[in-house]
Structures are given as C-alpha cells and as structure tokens.
Amino acid sequence: MAHRIVRRQGSWRRSVVALLAANSLVLVHTPARAADPSASSIVEKLLENDAWGSGGAYVKARLIVKAQGGAPREMAFQSKSRKAGPRLTKSLMRFTAPADLAGQAFLQIEKSDGDDDRFLWIPELKKTKRIAGASRKASFSGTDFSYADMDRRDLRDGTAKLVGIEKVGKADCYHLDVLPKGESPYGHLEVWARTTDFVPLKTVAFGANGQAVKTIEAKEAKKIEGKLFITKSLVTNHVENRTTELILDEVKPEGTIADEEFTARALEKE
C-alpha cells in the first residue's frame, strides 16, 4: 500500500520531518469526523487516565541514556504519586543509583493557578533548589526528558486540534496538534493517542523553527490492577543524537497516599 502523506496548515517539509523523525511512519490518514470526540475531550482522557503513572502509584524504575559513541548510563529511582485535583498530580521521585545520584530527589506539584512547584533535593549540599518555570526546557538529571515533558503543562493548558485518525503501527490513533500556551521550549506538539484507551503511543515535539527536536514513544503498556501503565518508553533527542529509555520495573497503583508525603520536608528525608 502506498504511503499517503497529507498536506495541512504546516509546510510539506515539516510534515516529512515529523514522519521521519518519529521512527514509525503513519500509513493511513482519516480526516476528523463529526462523530469523533473533540480534541479537548481527548486531552481530558489522556490526563485523567495518566498512563505514565504519575497520578497515583508506587513505582520502581530505570532510565538508560545512550549517546552515540558513548557507554550507556543507567539510573534507578523510586517514586510515589497521587492526584492533586482534576488534571493535576503530585509526585516525588528519589534516585537510588548510580552512586553520584543516589539520594537526590525531585518533588513536583502541578497547579492550576500559576506555575507548578518543582523542588530538587541535593543531599551532598543539604540543599533544596526550586526549579523555576523558566527552566522547563532544561534536561532532567542528564536525561532526554525535560522538566516540560514531566509537568504536562503544554498539554494541560495548550490549545489542541484534532487532525484526524491515523495508524501508529497497527493501532488507530487520534492525531492531535497542540499549541502550548505561555512560555514553552516547544513551538507545538503532535500527539497520537490510541482510540481504544487514549494511551499516548507517540509524541513529537517541535522547536520554534518547525523542526522536530524530540520524539517520545510508548514501547509497552500493561494493565496492572485494572489500570493501564506505559511500562517501557523511549525518548529520541534529534538535536543531541541521543536516547533515553524509561522502564517501569514495578508498579503498584495506590490512590490514598497522604498529602504530607509531597512536601519539601518529605523531600529532604534521606
């Protein structure tokens, strides 16, 4: 079957870059139909379902960073999270390996009225550092995830448009084009969410110049105690020619973790 590449609002060049950079070609495009859910309702489902495990779970996970020509660097962490309100979460993660990161912890509290709270505990300095919104574009602990990728604000507050239904691999997906609101490291995002369960199978982030800078792909999703979690994912950094793999080794859904577990005081407990 011949590939169909659809011209729409963006340039031909941008469309080609988006498809090639995503590493999994979209083969069939179906324009949005009246019966399809709205873009805003798809975003609500994405945020509500929270397949990344930041809205109510205990997690043990690994991050593996691979740069071209260099040795992989593996990091391990444990995290806990809970819902903080509609569309909002609280999470605290603490590194357990390697030795130079062990004990370092990160607290994020998403907020609807202003910038989110982000705190980084650095044990060797006995110091908690606030991460300002202006630093959202920065790399998180040397990985290809930025603080912006972790806080979901571009998706939470952005303006989404439903482009149509397209296949990612064998799965039908809603293709969303999201324009961030306010300060963001990205010019826009394109998100492909599976139609059956709203799991985001692929996200391509573009810079202000229209070039694809990052692709985030879900490689494995599992249902654990009735809830779907993305247990393996891959971030491809097209600018740095580097990847970061995220593997959730253990996931325990938990919806009753106390608010007191997500404070600066709790962050500083070693």
> SS3 breakdown of the chain: % helix, strand, coil, rounded to 5?
15, 45, 40
User: Would you say residue 234 lies in a domain?
Assistant: yes
Exposure string of 123-133, with b = 16+ CB inside 10 Å and e = fewer, is eeeeeeeebeb
For 83, the token pair is 């819902």
Question: Any residues with CB less than 8 A from the CB of 101 and at least 6 apart, and which?
Answer: 75, 95, 141
- pLDDT digits 0-9 by tens, 195-217: 999 999 999 999 999 999 999 99
In terms of Cβ atoms closer than 10 Å to its own Cβ (0-12, 13-18, 19+), residue 227 is middle
User: Would you say residue 5 lies in a domain?
Assistant: no
Residue type present at position 53: G
- pLDDT digits 0-9 by tens, 114-158: 899 999 999 999 999 999 989 999 999 999 999 999 999 999 999
User: Would you say residue 199 lies in a domain?
Assistant: yes
Q: Is pLDDT above 80 for 104? A: yes
User: How many domains, the chain?
Assistant: 1
Res 30: pLDDT: 82
What's the pTM? 0.87
CATH number of the domain enclosing 30: 2.50.20.10
Residues 177 and 198 sit within 8 Å (Cβ to Cβ): no
User: Would you say residue 1 lies in a domain?
Assistant: no
Instruction: Indicate the DSSP class of residue 24.
Output: S
User: Would you say residue 7 lies in a domain?
Assistant: no
Question: Which range marks the domain in which residue 194 is found?
Answer: 12-267
